[in-house]
């Protein structure tokens, strides 16, 4: 492989969502509104949890970091995507592309792991409520979150180094609206077998671990809930888990579809649609799911509103 061709590439061209001028304005307005909701809802959730004393519990501590992950990975993709809808030249510098993917990968991995940690937290709260605050102390919660971000950084660094050391000696047009591994591998003229193997091995391990963690936690949760005598108690226990299960099902289902398809089944259009769903739609739905179905969050919002207008 010609080393000069590899090193001479200074930028990529992003194909974007669409080149159809008739629907550009509609798409721009829709996703601008979606991104504004993401920004306001997730940032609002983080601030609300920090300000309200009743939300100073492990569950909301993890939820604030879930909102942070949603905000960060959607912001790594959303603003650039919106700008490119009307841009004549949808270029992104080589190192800018690497940085975008690195940031995106850290926080998607973190969200994936956080969902498993949150399932474990719900198990601890339901199975032994009297010792919940002792077992899930602030130190324990901080260590769990630190481990989540550490794994995310190691995985992101691994994929970033392996992907951006490849040769791109042909076309520099990425058939996508952001820098992601599958479309980058398609335009590389290097052997990408190692990259594909690492995606299936490392990311597969993360997915398998988190899904297994969620399933095991909820098996124990169900067993614990069945021991509760009162119907009201059972309903309350299940209601605290319903929002989390909804988020897990949507996020993990989309991620499995994105990264665990055989290469023969890869379709750029399907990939863009799925990517739009988990980079923008899911970060918008998460805070709405937790706030609209959560009594504590509703009460905290009401108290904050009363303080602001007194």
Contact status, residue 254 vs residue 278, Cβ threshold 8 Å: yes
Q: Name the residue with higher pLDDT: 190 or 102.
A: 102
Alpha carbons 283 and 148: distance in angstroms, whole number: 18
DSSP 263: G
Cα separation, 38 vs 30, whole angstroms:
12
Q: For Cα atoms 102, 103, 106, give the angle at the middle one, nearest 5 degrees.
A: 85
Tracing tokens 């550490």 back to the chain, one arrives at 150
Whole-angstrom distance, CA of residue 17 vs CA of residue 222 = 43
* 176-197 confidence digits (pLDDT tens): 999 999 889 888 888 888 988 9
Percent of residues, the chain, with pLDDT higher than 90: 39
155-184 pLDDT tens trace:
999 999 999 998 887 788 998 999 999 889
User: CA–CA distance from 273 to each of 26, 172, 264, 268, 308 (Å)?
Assistant: 16, 22, 18, 9, 40
Residues paired with residue 297 on neighbouring β-strands, in sequence order: none
pLDDT-based confidence at 259, cuts 50/70/90?
A: low
User: What is the model's pTM?
Assistant: 0.88
pLDDT of 96 over the 90 cut: yes
Length of the chain measured in residues: 310
pLDDT in tens, 216-255: 888 888 887 777 777 766 776 666 677 777 788 788 777 7
């Amino acid at each position: 492989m010609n080393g000069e061709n590899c090193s001479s590439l200074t930028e990529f061209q992003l194909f974007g969502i669409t080149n159809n001028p008739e629907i550009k304005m509609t798409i721009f307005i829709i996703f601008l509104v979606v991104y504004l909701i993401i920004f306001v809802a997730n940032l609002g959730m983080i601030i609300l949890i920090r300000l309200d004393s009743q939300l100073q519990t492990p569950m909301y501590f993890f939820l604030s970091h879930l909102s942070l992950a949603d905000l960060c990975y959607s912001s790594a993709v959303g603003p650039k995507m919106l700008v490119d809808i009307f841009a004549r030249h949808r270029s992104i510098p080589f190192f800018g592309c690497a940085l975008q993917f690195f940031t995106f990968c850290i926080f998607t991995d973190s969200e994936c792991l956080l969902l498993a940690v949150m399932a474990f937290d719900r198990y601890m709260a339901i199975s032994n409520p009297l010792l919940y605050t002792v077992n899930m102390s602030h130190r324990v919660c901080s260590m769990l979150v630190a481990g989540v971000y550490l794994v995310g950084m190691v995985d992101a660094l691994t994929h970033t180094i392996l992907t951006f050391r490849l040769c791109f000696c042909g076309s520099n047009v990425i058939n996508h609206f952001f820098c992601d591994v599958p479309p980058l591998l398609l335009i590389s003229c290097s052997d990408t077998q190692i990259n594909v193997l690492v995606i299936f091995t490392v990311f597969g391990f993360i997915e398998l671990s988190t899904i297994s963690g969620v399933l095991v936690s909820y098996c124990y949760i169900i067993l614990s809930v069945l021991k509760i005598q009162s119907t009201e108690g059972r309903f309350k226990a299940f209601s605290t888990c319903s929002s989390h299960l909804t988020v897990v099902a949507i996020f993990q289902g989309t991620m499995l579809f994105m990264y665990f398809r055989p290469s023969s089944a890869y379709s750029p259009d399907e990939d863009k649609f799925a990517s739009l769903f988990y980079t923008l739609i899911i970060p918008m739905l998460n805070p709405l799911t937790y706030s609209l179905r959560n009594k504590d969050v509703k009460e905290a919002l009401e108290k904050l509103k009363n303080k602001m207008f007194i």
